[in-house]
Amino acid sequence: MTKEHTGIILVLLITIKSPRGQEIMKCWNTHFQNPQIIINWIMLLETCLQWIEWLQSTKMPLKDVELCPKKFQNIMYLIKRSQVEPEEWG
- Over residues 60-72, the pLDDT tens digits come to 888 888 888 888 8
Query: Across all residues in the chain, what is the average pLDDT?
Result: 84
Establish if 75 belongs to a structural domain. Answer: yes
Establish if 37 belongs to a structural domain. Answer: yes
- Radius of gyration of the chain from Cα atoms? 15
Q: Which residues contact 88 (CB under 8 A, 6 or more apart)?
A: 29, 30, 31
Establish if 14 belongs to a structural domain. Answer: yes
Establish if 90 belongs to a structural domain. Answer: no
pLDDT bucket at 2, cuts 50 / 70 / 90:
low
Establish if 41 belongs to a structural domain. Answer: yes
Under DSSP, the state recorded for 90 is: -
Establish if 13 belongs to a structural domain. Answer: yes
Q: How many domains does the chain have?
A: 1
The domain of 60 spans 2-85
Residue 84 has pLDDT above 80, yes or no: no
Establish if 29 belongs to a structural domain. Answer: yes
Establish if 36 belongs to a structural domain. Answer: yes
Assign 3-class secondary structure to 29-77: CHHHHCHHHHHHHHHHHHHHHHHHHHHCCCCCCHHHHHHHHHHHHHHHH
